[in-house]
Amino acid sequence: MKKVLIITYYWPPSGGGGVQRWLKFSKYLPENGWEPIIFTPENPEFELKDNSLFKDVSESTEVIKFPIWEPFGIYKKLFSKNTKGSLKQGIVIEKSKLTIGDKLSIWIRANLFIPDPRRFWVRPSVKFLKDFVIDNDINHIVTTGPPHSMHLIGLGLKKHHPNIKWVADFRDPWSDWDILEKLKVSNWAMKIHKNMEAKVITACDVLLTVSKRLAKAFEDKNLARKVTVITNGVDESDFNLTHTPLKINKFRISHMGLLNEIRDPKIFWLALEELSLEDPRFAEDLEIVLAGMVSSSILTQLDENNTLKSKVKFLDYLSHEKVFEQYAEASILLLLLNQTNNSKWILPGKLYEYMFAKKSILCLGEKDSDVYDILKETKTGLLFNPNDKEGIKAFILGKYADFKNATTTNEEIQIHHYTRKNLAKDLASLLDHLN
């Protein structure tokens, strides 16, 4: 089989959304004539771990774990015991009251560790891999970001081996990423980001990304040689679990994953509060499940809501298998897009799992978005403007009526294209045409 080296920061036991895309591609690439070789850190600093994901790693898959040094240990020592737990991705910048240590750590992260704190892995990785690809007859490499430092490894290898075929996979934007705005990156730091991004885009053979509008954003930079879209998807085998859904006597609305200020559904909480006050039966039946990391500002907001706080059930990070159990026991699956300028090109990985769970999806975001297009195409849910309180209430009431009447929709949904197995075929075809 032909070989492809996949350079990724996230690999089991890493949990969360960042690991899924290339874990699943590597699972199904061998069926399409490609042998994946994984290059990943030996000792990464990630918060979320999920050992259940090892089931998707074939014993025949070669996984090279190379040592990495990251500055998070220094953060924890410098910024006192109060920092513990606050450095989680997407959370520290959401704290309602930032300590001096928080502000300093954010400034350092934004302006000194460019493009990200994994930059210290770039040079030693290039030094190791420049001989490894020759010794192992590897002609194709993939880098996937964020963290975008992974692309700098690809850039370094391309300089040493100009004939190697390099696919740079962007699961999120780089210089247009809303997290940079949230971090308050300085102008001079942003110039460095854009310069690095331009070098990667012009040097790679194919720029791969996850949504049509994100592809258009890269094309508009007038730098990319070619932009290709292969979306994320779902592994159908993940739904072949032996778990039998509990008989739920609650009208359960569930959200899975990170819930922070740029996704805060303030009007949605208000809609639920009004529905609960208007109908005591609804209030009695309602249960809100929030699984994953929730920022302190939202925790405070819900705790101060006397109508909703007793109805909220917080779950910590769940293994991938446990997440599917939660899907099965929900009446509505809540999908929240970032309330930022680039939300139109965001396609959360859990969207596809939501679709395959065949539960009603309630999405809050803007209609000029890839998510809106996919929900419309697949008929798996509806998207509302985050401020459309009446529309949100009407949708919830309709699903609540279905819950009370124990009715389900039998409408056929068109989701076959979004299986990981079919998407891996698309990736294999892309690699084949790079020969």
| pLDDT tens readout for residues 324-353 | 889 988 999 999 998 887 788 888 888 999
Domains, in order of start, for the chain = 2-71+113-233+420-432 (3.40.50.2000), 236-416 (3.40.50.2000)
Q: How far apart (Å, rounded) are the C-alpha atoms in residues 90 and 433?
A: 38
- Number of Cβ within 10 Å of residue 15's Cβ equals 22
The residue written with tokens 């991938």 in the block is 320
**Average pLDDT across the chain, whole number:** 89
Phi-psi region of 319 (alpha: psi -120 to 50; beta: other; left: phi over 0): beta
Q: For position 73, what pLDDT does the model report?
A: 62
**Run of H or E including 315:** strand 312-315
Phi-psi region of 90 (alpha: psi -120 to 50; beta: other; left: phi over 0): left
Q: For position 240, what pLDDT does the model report?
A: 65
Q: For position 89, what pLDDT does the model report?
A: 45
**Residues 340 and 316 sit within 8 Å (Cβ to Cβ):** no
Strands 312-315 and 206-209: unpaired
Cis geometry, peptide bond prior to residue 124 (ω within 30 degrees of 0) = no
Phi-psi region of 254 (alpha: psi -120 to 50; beta: other; left: phi over 0): beta
Q: For position 78, what pLDDT does the model report?
A: 58
pLDDT in tens, the chain (435 residues): 899 999 999 999 998 888 999 999 999 999 999 999 999 999 888 778 889 899 999 999 999 999 999 887 665 555 545 444 444 544 445 555 667 777 777 888 888 889 999 999 999 999 999 999 999 999 999 999 999 999 999 999 999 999 999 999 999 999 998 888 878 889 999 999 999 999 999 999 999 999 999 999 999 998 877 799 999 999 988 876 555 555 678 999 999 988 988 888 999 999 999 999 999 999 999 999 999 889 888 999 999 999 999 999 999 878 888 888 899 889 999 999 988 877 888 888 889 999 988 889 999 999 999 999 999 988 899 999 999 999 999 999 999 999 999 876 655 666 788 999 999 999 999 999 997
- pTM exceeding the 0.85 threshold for the entire prediction: yes
Q: Which of 52, 1, 54 is nearest to 31 (CA)?
A: 1
- Number of Cβ within 10 Å of residue 413's Cβ equals 14
Phi-psi region of 262 (alpha: psi -120 to 50; beta: other; left: phi over 0): alpha
Dihedral sign, Cα of residue 76, residue 80, residue 85, residue 87: negative
**Residues 150 and 143 sit within 8 Å (Cβ to Cβ):** yes
Q: Which of 59, 26, 60 is nearest to 40 (CA)?
A: 26
Q: How far apart (Å, rounded) are the C-alpha atoms in residues 421 and 230?
A: 12
Q: Mapping DSSP to helix (H, G, I), strand (E, B) and coil, where does residue 213 land?
A: helix
Q: For position 367, what pLDDT does the model report?
A: 92
Q: Mapping DSSP to helix (H, G, I), strand (E, B) and coil, where does residue 255 land?
A: strand
Let me know the angle formed at the C-alpha of 342 by 50 and 385, rounded to the nearest 5 degrees: 95
- Number of Cβ within 10 Å of residue 117's Cβ equals 19
Cα dist from 161 to 50, 113, 130, 305, whole Å: 36, 27, 8, 59
